[in-house]
Amino acid sequence: MSVPSWSRRVRRLALVPLVALAPWVPAYADELLDQATALVQRGDAQQAFQLLDAQESTRAGDPAFDEAMGRAAHAAGQYSRAILAWERVVAAQPGNAAAAWELGRALHAVGDKQGANAVSERVRAAGIPVDAALSIDQFLVSYDRGDHDGRSTWKGHVELTLGRDSNVNAGPGLNAPDLSPPGTPPWALAPGAEAQRASYAAVLGNVRGRHVLDTRWSVIGAATAEVRGHSRAGDAYDSSQLDANLGLAYRVERNEWMLSAQGATYRMDGDTLRNIGGVLAEWIYRIDGFRQWDSFLQVQELRYPTQSLRDARRTVGGTSYVHILRNGSLFYAGFYAGQEKPRAAGVDNLGHDLAGLRGGVQWAISADWAAFTHLNYERRHYGAVDPFFGVTRRDRQAYWALGLSWIPAPGWRITPQWMVTRNSSTLPITDYDRRVLSVTVRREF
């Protein structure tokens, strides 16, 4: 059947305005998106977001527009809007791994880990890992598993650490006698008492969890065991350690209170060197899902089975603030203070007051790499003049850790780090430096 000539003419005429307008539409679109992109690059993401928001109802579903909207919304802190935009891109272009990665990033930003993990599986399949570099349990511990939805759960990890320790025994340097305070008697270190340098290997296992009794009460607990062996120079310091705690938690709205019994034993070279028993009370106040205050009071009885003079009660209280940023980075800071009071009479020189500051930062460099640093400064003021040196011991201890965290595969973490301890003491035999370089391989389950 032939088409009438008038019909063909009408069709041609109908195409004229479309052809004429066609160049204008993409030009307009490009202009809008270019303008929004430029605004984002200039740091004015909010204006870019508002510019695109006005057009969203008509242009939603256009992947180019939605990508621009997703970027502008994320940069402007409108993470939920970014999610909606990236979901449209991914729906239109299921193979767009970059968009899926951006969607995962936005989901992480609002704390939707379940959604982010669902995205990450697809993205991993495309070769782009999106495992968050953030791991609460690397520096901050928790009883809860992220995907447990508030149910009873337990989790754990095992670690293998290889390292080199410049001072396994926390001994003074070889030139320590030179540091002897004026007026103190002459003395010298015996062999083996000075700083011992050694390589070491350590294996650690940890389990912890929460058993939910009802919407407010739960039983919490954790146990950690570690065995550490050194090369020949430090084999006298081969040690094993066991820590455990068990308690109750009560949470209402923004607050959670926890009361736990704690126990620990430390063995060195086959002998029990120290046992600890105590009570820990903690109060967590959640400002929101990304910020919190954590305050604690810890009372411990320290027992040295072969050195009963060192037995002491240690009481420490403190508070800290933790802030997890939307990009997966986090920082924390806090202070604490307390005292260690010997049980025996006449040994006040072994007891001390202490006060410390600590803080740390973790930067999410990429999806699976993070850098971190941790600082701790503690002052200890002992209770009496040391009977030998004739001075009162005062310590100022600084600890600094710097490292990287790499997640090569889900559930695995490799952490090379450099740790430096400097204890500046008025007693030369407690004045020491310690540097440890280590690599830890961790498997979480």
Partner 1 sequence: MQSNFPSPRLALWMAMVAAWPLQGLAAAGRVQFATGEVQLRRGADASAAVKGTEVENGDVILTGAAGRAQIRFSDGGLVALYPDSQFTVTRYADAGNPAQDHFAVNLLRGGMRAITGLIGKRDPRNYKVTTPTAVVGIRGSAFLIGFNAQGELVVSGEQDEIEVCTEAGCVGVKAGESVRVVSSSQLPLYTHTRALLPLPPPPVPFAVGEQIDGGARQAPAPTAPTPVPPPPTPTPPAPTPSVPVPAPDPYNPPYIPPPPPPTTGTGTTPTAPPTTTTRPPVTTTPTTPPVTTAPTPTTPPVTRPPIVTLPPIVRPIILLPPVPVPPPPPIIR
Task: Compute the distance between CA of residue 220 and CA of residue 208 in angstroms, rounded to an integer.
Answer: 8
Question: Where in 68-97 is the site for partner 1 (CB under 8 A)?
Answer: 79-81, 83-84, 87-88, 91-92
Task: Compute the distance between CA of residue 399 and CA of residue 261 in angstroms, rounded to an integer.
Answer: 28
Structure tokens at 328: 């997966």
- Least distance (Å) from partner 1 to the CB of residue 268? 6
Structure tokens at 256: 């959670």
- Least distance (Å) from partner 1 to the CB of residue 11? 26
Looking at the DSSP bridge assignments, the partners of residue 402 are 373, 418
Q: Which residues does 159 contact at the CB level (< 8 Å), separation at least 6?
A: 202, 203, 204, 205, 206, 440, 441, 442, 443
Site pattern 164..203 for partner 1 (x: CB under 8 A): -----xxxx----x-----xxxxxxxxxxx----------
Asked whether position 259 contacts partner 1 by CB under 8 A, the answer is no
Asked whether position 271 contacts partner 1 by CB under 8 A, the answer is yes
Single out the residue of 355, 352, 346, 339 nearest to residue 382, CA to CA: 352
Q: With H, G, I as helix, E, B as strand and everything else as coil, classify residue 95.
A: coil
Helices 97-109/63-75 angle, 10° precision: 30
Residue number with CB closer to partner 1 (13 or 425): 425
- Least distance (Å) from partner 1 to the CB of residue 23? 24
Residue number with CB closer to partner 1 (158 or 280): 280
Asked whether position 383 contacts partner 1 by CB under 8 A, the answer is no
Q: Are 264 and 242 in contact (CB under 8 A)?
A: yes
Query: Looking only at Cα atoms, what is the longest distance across the chain?
Result: 120
Residue number with CB closer to partner 1 (2 or 388): 388
Asked whether position 347 contacts partner 1 by CB under 8 A, the answer is yes
Structure tokens at 320: 């800290």
Residue number with CB closer to partner 1 (23 or 95): 95
Question: Where in 283-322 is the site for partner 1 (CB under 8 A)?
Answer: 284, 286-290, 292, 294, 296, 298, 300, 302, 304, 306-307, 309-310, 314, 316, 318, 320, 322
Single out the residue of 424, 358, 429, 421 nearest to residue 389, CA to CA: 429
Asked whether position 141 contacts partner 1 by CB under 8 A, the answer is yes
Asked whether position 26 contacts partner 1 by CB under 8 A, the answer is no
**CA-based torsion, 182, 183, 184, 187: positive or negative:** positive
> Segment contacting partner 1 (CB under 8 A): 33-41, 269-277, 362-370, 400-408?
269-277
> Segment contacting partner 1 (CB under 8 A): 19-27, 122-130, 332-340, 406-414?
332-340
